[in-house]
Amino acid sequence: MYEVRNTMYENKEVTMKSRLAIGVLILLALMIVSPFVALAAEGAHGESTTKEAGIGEGMKRAGYGIGAGIAIGLAGLATGLAQARIGSAGIGALAEDPKLIGNVILLVAIPETVVILGFVIAFMILGAP
């Protein structure tokens, strides 16, 4: 008789894609602007901003920070996506056969090594001279 329509969620996929695109653009803008902010902060502490005073040092430190952030961020994102799929499949397998608990725990723990390697790479980047 009467059709109730919720127009708020009709284009859910489109809105999620646009939110993701906006988030990526904001992230890229921050990555572009942050070295200049670090450079300005270096010059604001009373140091001269000439080449002899090491104007590139602030940019170098900002680049190290951005690289370390990307290493951890992408590793965490990849791990989260992998664990989401592995976890949901593992729960389905456990519903059918509860004896598979050891295998499921092992399979969920394997992607965590990616994050650990991301942390190691980030520490290597930050420890670079």
pLDDT in tens, 71-119: 888 888 889 888 989 999 999 999 999 999 999 999 999 998 988 998 8
CB burial class (10 A; 0-12, 13-18, 19+) of residue 19? Answer: exposed
d(CA 117, CA 125): 12
pLDDT digits (tens, 9 = 90+) for 23-73: 888 877 777 776 666 666 555 555 554 555 555 677 777 778 888 888 888
- Using CA of residue 2, residue 13, residue 88, residue 73, what is the dihedral sign? negative
Tally DSSP H helices, then E strands, for the chain. 4, 0
